[in-house]
Amino acid sequence: MCQAESRAEFHEVNRHRAEAEARRLLAQRDALGARWLTWVAGELYRLSPPPYANMVRRELARLTGGDDERA
């Protein structure tokens, strides 16, 4: 299997998990207020492997309309 196929497969296998994780992170936004951005950055840093963390980051940006800086 070539690298592009394995990357596509990885994304397909982890898509729902990444979406759920992004929703979990976003659900804490109101509760954490101004601390949310720092907290979410730490949560994203702990996710592994890095391609999965990037998937969650992109999904979080999509859910927030690209406005993941609002706290």
The domain ranges of the chain are: 3-63
| Range in 5-9, 20-24, 58-62, 66-70 the model is least confident about | 66-70
Whether the per-residue pLDDT at 70 is higher than 70: the answer is: no
pLDDT bracket for residue 4 (50, 70, 90)? low
- Note the pLDDT of residue 66: 77
Q: What does the mean pLDDT of the chain come to?
A: 90
Mean pLDDT of the region 52-56: 97
Q: How far is CA 2 from CA 5, 6, 9, 11, 15, in A?
A: 5, 6, 11, 15, 20
Which is higher by pLDDT, 38 or 7? 38
